Copies of this chain bind each other. A is one copy, B any other.
Amino acid sequence: MRYMATISYDGSNYMGFQIQHDMPTIELELEKAIKRMLGTDIKITASGRTDKGVHALNQIIHFDLDKKINPDNLKRGINTYLPNDIYIKNVTEVSDDFHARFSAKSKEYRYYININEYDPLTYKYMPFISNLDYELMNEGMKLFVGTHDFKGFASASIDKRKDTIKTIFKANMNIYDDKLEFIFVGTSFLKYQVRRMMGLIIEIGRKKETKEKISEVFEKKDPKISHKVAPSEGLYLYNVYY
């Protein structure tokens, strides 16, 4: 039996999603909680990793069990053993050909910036950045939409054989009284891609760079071209679409 689960988590206290030895990771906590509930080692597969400090509202995982278990009982049981900052929102039985990663058609990431005043109650959930030119940021965001080679926005340590041509369907910016919201929907995203895109958008908002730099990064396809990586705490894996 294959099960799909929707997970939300506060990434603040974790080294990211993927298991790294005994470091605190979301994957390790999920596998530990499933083992404590079912008594057996179960390997989970996620739609993708999230980095250290990055949050998720609807991360998707799948896992296989030998026997049929009521999905609501699975949800309740695993949640009992999870720490307070990781939560299973939903479990459903899916067909064996469903794959959390390979079946994903697109993903949505959101990024939040507190523009009001430093806030000790939200600093782990959106960085405070002031004196930004929203109009320039908004113009920059539009340049991300479409099919591009995003190699220049990837981690410098990216595997050279990796396909870096990706499509972004939506790159919107919404301005609220107290925060900025950035919405990215695309086929898939490379490691650090959203934080590097956001890092450049923030530099454009600060007038340290112009939107022409975005075109330059697309053309040069070199992750080593210096530009900032936005803080992890503002980033949320918001949805995975199948």
Report chain B residues within 8 Å CB of A8: 119-121
Which A53-77 residues sit within 8 Å CB-CB of chain B? Answer: 55, 57
| B120:A86 contact, CB within 8 angstroms | yes
CA distance A57 to B117 in the complex (A): 12
Q: In whole angstroms, how far apart are the Cα atoms of A118 and B117 in the complex?
A: 28
A74-91: CB near B (< 8 Å → 1, else 0) gives 000001000011110100
Q: How many residues of A contact B (CB 8 A)?
A: 18
Interface residues of A in 100-121 (CB under 8 A from B): 117-121
- Which residue of B has the minimal Cβ distance to A121? B10
How far does the alpha carbon of A85 sit from the alpha carbon of B89 in the complex, in Å?
28
Name the B residues within 8 Å of A57 (CB-CB): 121
CB neighbours of A119 from chain B (8 A) = 8, 87
A123 CB within 8 Å of chain B: yes
Q: Which of A87, A119, A120 has the most CB of B within 10 A?
A: A120
User: Cβ of A89: which chain B residues have Cβ within 8 Å of it?
Assistant: 117
Interchain nearest-CB distance for A146 vs B (Å): 32
Q: Does A184 contact B (CB under 8 A)?
A: no
Contact B123 A84 (CB under 8 A): yes
Counted per complex, copies of this chain come to 2
Instruction: Annotate A34-66 by CB proximity to B: 1 below 8 A, 0 otherwise.
Output: 000000000000000000000101000000000
Cα distance, A121 to B85, chains bound together (Å): 6
With CB as the reference atom, state the residue of chain B lying closest to A123: B84
Cβ-defined partner of A120 (8 Å) among B87, B117, B118, B120: B87
A128, closest chain B residue (CB): B87
Q: How far does the Cβ of A51 sit from chain B's closest Cβ, in whole Å?
A: 16
CB of A3 within 8 Å of the partner chain? no
Q: How far is the CB of A32 from chain B (nearest CB, A)?
A: 16
A205 to B72 alpha-carbon distance, docked (Å): 26
CB of A49, distance to nearest CB on chain B (Å): 18
- Is A150 an interface residue when CB atoms closer than 8 A count as contact? no
Residues of B contacting A123 with CB < 8 Å?
84-85
Q: Sorted from nearest, which 7 A-B pairs have the closest CB atoms? A: A87-B120, A85-B120, A10-B121, A10-B120, A9-B120, A84-B123, A8-B120
